[in-house]
Amino acid sequence: MLSFSKRVLLPSIAASFAMVYGLRAYRFLGSLGFRLSFGGVAQGVVACAVLIVGANVMNNKLHITSYIAKGTQEYGELYESHYAISSELARLDSSHPQNLIIILAESLESTFSNGGGGESPSQAPFGEAIPRLSSLAQKHINFSPTHAIGGLVQVAGTGWTMAGTIAHLCGIPLTMPIGGNSFSNKYFLDSALCVSDVLANHGYTQAYLSGLDSSFAGMKYFLQSHAISVLDLPYFQQTGAIPSPLPQELQGFWGLKDSRLFALARDMLPTLKEPFALYVSTIDTHHPDGFVDPHACASVRSDYQGSFTCTDMLIAEFIDYAQSLYGDSVSIVVVGDHLSMKTGFFPPNVSRYVFDLFINPKFTAPYTLESTKSRTLSHFDIAPLLLDSVGIRTEAFGLGRNPLYKPTLLESTFSQEELNALIAQKSRMYDSFWDIGQKSYNLIKPKLEPSPINQTQKPRRDNDKTP
């Protein structure tokens, strides 16, 4: 058995540092005239600096030292007491299952909205930087702790892309297993039950689109462990849809720019076999500077705030297109993966929430404005809402609770600080999620189809009579 440091700690530090800071370091050194071949003292100094800064940054983000300290802790009972899966997941209340589009928007938070005009200037420091998403949030459903446009409270183990995605889809945080479980990169949380496992059990075709190499940080292995086909930058380059190497005009903040990714998503939409769940992961609003596409967003200021305005336009245009194809037969969810990590940018007195938006959901419970506002949701509570939005009644999923049926854990049981402390504790049940092939709750794990694309199928609108 490999040690924890070799299995998890060092790879996590190295991978995460390279992901977030490698590009910046490379560009900076290049601007100073350094090349990868420089040696001697300079190489040693830079290598040490990379190790120290990377370890410190990732400890701050992942709380690595707290997980090491778990070795002296007793096991907690968070999951044994509060992890729950609804008993009605096998039922789909529709003769024509609802399609689902989930846009996982990098660092998207409601701080960039003016709250639909309902926030004071101190709580809307950037005015209205995402006008189209704010307009959609007013017309449709946005769960918020206030009466204005808001979002999700970010708790421990959800504050970076991998963790936020897992929390949204599985209703659990991403923490580091230390015990003797069967952790392996290619079986990422293999025994955890996730939204995509349930959808696959109901015959959904599922595809994840990304402009990055999703094998980085384990995203590809997590998705494939949970019945989602991965169509990322290497996939598009292998199929000839995107040139290799990636030309400058197609590059965004990191990898393929979002405008081109959404173009690929538009091309793919009519080819997906129904019912489908399409996941689109954006990147151009990544800190520290973001990326504003000079062609797609020529009128937008080229800075970090502007990157959100550009992404706002791209997402809204894609939503318009998807609705033109599928009408009421598609539910669309836009949710931030986590709060922005840009330091020194947000005023200290601002209440920050991860943005959420549900368009045309087929919720199994009636809802009103009062049932969506003044509600305290975390990432975990998105999981039951995703299933419920396509007509699968889901009152609880993992640590998530459907706020249309019952209070969330942050509303009924824990403060944010209390839940954070419990997440940091060791857990035998959580460790078991890393076992291989032990998914429970009698949901059969399906085999992945080689391709989610059906070239002959046409989109079904809500008034179609064909199955």
- At 407, the amino acid letter reads P
E-strand stretches of 250-293 = 276-281
Residue range 103-119: mean pLDDT, rounded: 88
Q: How far is CA 21 from the centre of its chain?
A: 20
Ordered DSSP codes for 151-197: EEBP-TT-SSHHHHHHHHHHSS------SS----TTSTTTTS--HHH
Radius of gyration (C-alpha) of the chain in whole angstroms: 22
Number of Cβ atoms within 10 Å of the Cβ of 26: 13
Asked if residue 161 belongs to a domain, the reply is yes
Residue range 332-339: mean pLDDT, rounded: 98
E-strand stretches of 267-361 = 276-281, 330-336, 354-359
Q: Which residue is it, tokens 């990191």?
A: 254
| Contact criterion met (CB below 8 Å) for 86 and 384 | yes
Q: Which residue is it, tokens 């459903």?
A: 141
Instruction: Dig out the tokens for 320 from the structure.
Output: 């318009």
Asked if residue 457 belongs to a domain, the reply is no
Q: pLDDT band for position 184 (50/70/90)?
A: very low
Q: List, for residues 14-51, the tens digit of each pLDDT value.
A: 454 444 444 455 444 444 444 444 455 555 554 555 55
When divided into structural domains, the chain yields a total of: 2
Q: What CATH code is carried by the domain that includes residue 413?
A: 3.40.720.10
Whether 213 has a pLDDT exceeding 50, the answer reads: yes
Task: Give the closest residue to 177 by CA, choosing from 433, 439, 437.
Answer: 433
Same domain (yes/no): 286, 230: yes
Whether 61 has a pLDDT exceeding 80, the answer reads: no
Same domain (yes/no): 168, 55: no
Residue range 192-200: mean pLDDT, rounded: 96
Q: Specify the pLDDT at position 385.
A: 98
Residue range 137-164: mean pLDDT, rounded: 97
Same domain (yes/no): 157, 51: no
What global pTM score does this model have? 0.83
Same domain (yes/no): 199, 298: yes
Sequence-ordered list of residues with C-beta below 8 angstroms from that of 9, at least 6 positions apart, any chain: 64, 68, 176
Residue range 316-338: mean pLDDT, rounded: 98
Structural domain containing residue 46? 4-62
Q: pLDDT band for position 216 (50/70/90)?
A: confident
Asked if residue 453 belongs to a domain, the reply is no
The bridge status of strand 205-210 relative to strand 229-231 is: parallel
Q: List, for residues 433-458, the tens digit of each pLDDT value.
A: 999 877 655 553 334 444 465 544 55
Asked if residue 250 belongs to a domain, the reply is yes
Same domain (yes/no): 47, 108: no
Asked if residue 447 belongs to a domain, the reply is no
Residue range 309-329: mean pLDDT, rounded: 98
Whole-angstrom Cα distance, residue 247 to residue 268?
22
Residue range 422-440: mean pLDDT, rounded: 89
Q: How many residues does the chain have?
A: 467
Instruction: Dig out the tokens for 441 from the structure.
Output: 């709750």
